[in-house]
């Protein structure tokens, strides 16, 4: 695709990712979908753990 | 950036696509209409019926008048002009039911709330929020949910087929990642991801609400609305005390989970949900987010500890960490009263909050702010330039970072990232100045300006129906500018300037 000035400016500094066009969301890939959701939730709990440890250190 | 010189012929397709978006928004009013009717709120149902009729009539007339131009190819300038103009016209029409409901002091206040919802900011000027009808509450949260995923692209992908300028409008909404080769499939993927989480999140919050003592239907509606707000990093809530109303650690934990996930890049969601779970560890945007959250949490907790604001670790986590992560993801949910920021938190914690709100969440997500990816790009460019100074002149220094795939840092990308960050800082400065010119102290003005610029919604107590109309108008423009990441609105301004110049 030609990169015009406007295209460059919008979403500036955001490198365009290729994505994964073969990946599917919905029927046929539900196991992967739910494993992915589980992984995302796990990450947030990790983040909360950091918050909790820092709160514990400073609030003790 | 400028639209085609032959702008006379391009005004008509722009008006056609604005008509399509207006029709889409008019159709959307059917949802709160049904909710209002189900709960016997007949006055509100009539308001929505009248608003939907007027909106559909306006959109239909525009579509019919310019139907011949529907297949005309749109350039980048036109595509972005459609997006910016559609958001503005959308604000005007979506404010009609608010205005008719009598819940707002003026039409400007209604427009403020619509723009706050569309841009997922979450600041509100509504009167007597604790007694709002279910229909109006549904409309508030629906606007923020739709605005978060991208209103123009949703409408265009649902109502039209194979629009040549759809990708340009998608980029104009501040998103620039193709999850799939085709923009229609990309928009569909974004909506699939959001709807899967909508089911899961509403269920969790519904159960939590009932566990906290809400009746089943009230717990369901609150769960649905809070999820819509959390996922879109919006910050609206049905009660004036926001999340503090529930006094529930469970509710707080569930909302943290969904607003943090909601602030992730849709390309990252797509990769993780299609089997690439390691992306969560390798992605530079997630690394950047984790680092900034850790550093800023430390700053907030140190600031709160220094001023002895909270007595123990639990209070520190539920108040300090919650507001910080809510601000950093640009959600704006609050578990304290707004004035507590100003009266209790102290300068160090407020400084950390302002930084967090300005940095914001991920690119191509529902979140606002500079975006973690831009922070990572600028940091990587900085490291590369420092290493260039240290290495012999002939050495070629190449830096890579991982975002879905390994990307070699490009000077153009680094420069653009820096320019957008400078634009955000400039807008934040203007917002702070506007607050001070209206007579508010520097700390309050800066906090509220950061909240508006980052599309966050946390308030220090400044935003209310009583603030001067000029400040409300400035905040509306800043929310609009920041959400669309400046370029679409500059394209619209250039287009209008060209039209005026020609006359």
ipTM value, please give it: 0.90
The stretch B242-266 carries a mean pLDDT of 95
CA-based nearest residue to A44, from B235, B260, B363: B260
CB hemisphere CA count around B199 (13 angstroms): 7
Which pLDDT does position B310 carry in this prediction?
92
The stretch B470-489 carries a mean pLDDT of 93
Inter-chain CB proximity B313 and A25 less than 8 Å: no
pLDDT digits 0-9 by tens, B277-328: 899 999 999 999 999 999 999 999 999 999 889 988 999 999 999 999 999 9
Helix (H) and strand (E) counts in chain A: 2, 0
In this predicted structure, the answer to whether residue A12 has a pLDDT above a threshold of 80 is no
Task: Tell me the pLDDT band of B162, cut-offs 50, 70 and 90.
Answer: low
Residues of A in contact with B331 (CB under 8 A): none
pLDDT digits 0-9 by tens, B492-503: 888 888 888 877
Among chain B residues, the shortest Cα distance to A5 is held by B1
3-state secondary structure of B403: strand
Inter-chain CB proximity A45 and B257 less than 8 Å: yes
Q: Are B449 and B432 in contact (CB under 8 A)?
A: yes
The stretch B173-178 carries a mean pLDDT of 71
The stretch B126-155 carries a mean pLDDT of 91
Model-level pTM?
0.91
Which pLDDT does position B246 carry in this prediction?
95
> What percent of chain B stands above pLDDT 70?
95
Inter-chain CB proximity A50 and B294 less than 8 Å: yes
pLDDT digits 0-9 by tens, B440-465: 999 999 999 999 999 999 999 999 99
* Angle value at C-alpha B493, between B491 and B499, nearest 5 degrees: 105
Task: Tell me the pLDDT band of B117, cut-offs 50, 70 and 90.
Answer: very high
Residues of B in contact with A27 (CB under 8 A): none
- Quick count: other Cβ atoms within 10 Å of Cβ B408? 10
CA-based nearest residue to B493, from B474, B476, B473, B477: B477
Structure token pair of residue B400: 């890579």
Phi first, then psi, for residue B402 (nearest 5°) are -105, 115
In this predicted structure, the answer to whether residue A18 has a pLDDT above a threshold of 70 is no
pLDDT digits 0-9 by tens, B179-216: 666 777 777 888 888 999 999 999 999 999 999 999 99
Inter-chain CB proximity B176 and A4 less than 8 Å: no
The two beta strands, B400-403 and B405-408, are antiparallel
**C-alpha–C-alpha distance, residues B150 and B173, integer Å:** 6
CB hemisphere CA count around A9 (13 angstroms): 18
- Quick count: other Cβ atoms within 10 Å of Cβ B411? 9
**C-alpha–C-alpha distance, residues B308 and B311, integer Å:** 7
Task: Tell me the pLDDT band of B114, cut-offs 50, 70 and 90.
Answer: very high
Which pLDDT does position B160 carry in this prediction?
67
């Amino acid at each position: 695709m030609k990169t015009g000035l406007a295209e460059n400016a919008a979403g500036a500094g955001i490198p365009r990712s290729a994505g994964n066009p073969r990946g599917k969301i919905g029927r046929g890939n539900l196991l992967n979908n739910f494993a992915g959701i589980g992984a995302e939730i796990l990450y947030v709990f990790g983040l909360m753990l950091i918050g909790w440890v820092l709160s514990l250190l400073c609030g003790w | 950036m400028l639209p085609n010189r032959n702008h006379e012929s391009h005004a008509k397709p722009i008006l056609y696509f604005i008509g399509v978006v207006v029709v889409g928004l008019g159709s959307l009013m059917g949802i709160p209409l049904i909710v209002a009717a189900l709960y016997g709120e007949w006055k509100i149902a009539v308001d929505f019926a009248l608003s939907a009729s007027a909106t559909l009539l306006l959109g239909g007339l525009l579509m019919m008048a310019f139907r011949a131009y529907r297949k005309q190819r749109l350039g980048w300038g036109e595509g972005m002009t459609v997006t910016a103009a559609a958001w503005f016209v959308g604000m005007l029409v979506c404010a009609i039911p608010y205005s008719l409901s009598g819940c707002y002091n003026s039409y400007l206040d209604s427009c403020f709330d619509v723009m706050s919802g569309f841009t997922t900011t979450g600041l509100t000027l509504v009167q007597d929020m604790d007694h709002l009808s279910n229909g109006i509450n549904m409309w508030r949260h629906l606007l923020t949910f739709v605005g978060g995923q991208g209103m123009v692209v949703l409408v265009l992908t649902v109502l039209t087929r194979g629009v040549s300028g759809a990708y340009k409008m998608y980029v104009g909404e501040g998103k620039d990642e193709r999850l799939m080769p085709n923009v229609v499939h990309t928009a569909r993927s974004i909506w699939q991801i959001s709807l899967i989480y909508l089911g899961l999140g509403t269920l969790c919050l519904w159960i939590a609400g009932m566990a906290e003592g809400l009746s089943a239907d009230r717990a369901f509606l609150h769960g649905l609305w809070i999820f819509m707000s959390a996922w879109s990093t919006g910050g609206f809530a049905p009660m004036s005390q926001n999340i503090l109303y529930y006094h529930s650690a469970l509710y707080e934990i569930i909302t943290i989970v969904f607003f943090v996930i909601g602030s992730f890049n849709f390309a990252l969601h797509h990769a993780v949900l299609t089997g690439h779970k390691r992306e969560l560890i390798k992605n530079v945007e997630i690394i950047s987010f984790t680092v900034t959250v850790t550093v800023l949490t430390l700053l907030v907790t140190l600031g709160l500890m220094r001023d002895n604001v909270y007595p123990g670790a639990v209070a520190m986590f539920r108040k300090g960490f919650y507001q910080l992560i809510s601000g950093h993801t640009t959600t704006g949910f609050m578990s304290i009263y707004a004035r507590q920021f100003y009266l209790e938190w102290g300068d160090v914690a407020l400084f950390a909050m302002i930084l967090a709100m300005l940095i914001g969440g991920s690119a191509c997500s529902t979140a606002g702010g500079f975006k973690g990816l831009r922070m990572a790009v600028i940091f990587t460019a900085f490291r590369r330039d420092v290493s260039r100074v240290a290495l012999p002149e002939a050495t070629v220094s190449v830096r890579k970072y991982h975002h879905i795939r390994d990307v070699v840092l490009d000077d153009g990308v680094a420069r653009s990232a820096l320019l957008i960050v400078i634009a955000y800082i400039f807008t934040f400065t203007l917002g702070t100045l506007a607050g001070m010119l209206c007579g508010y102290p520097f700390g309050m003005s800066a906090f509220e300006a950061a909240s508006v610029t980052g599309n966050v919604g946390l308030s220090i107590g400044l935003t209310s129906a009583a603030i001067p109309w000029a400040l409300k108008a400035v905040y509306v423009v800043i929310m609009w500018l920041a959400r669309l990441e400046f370029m679409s609105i500059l394209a619209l301004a250039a287009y209008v300037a060209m039209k005026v110049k020609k006359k």
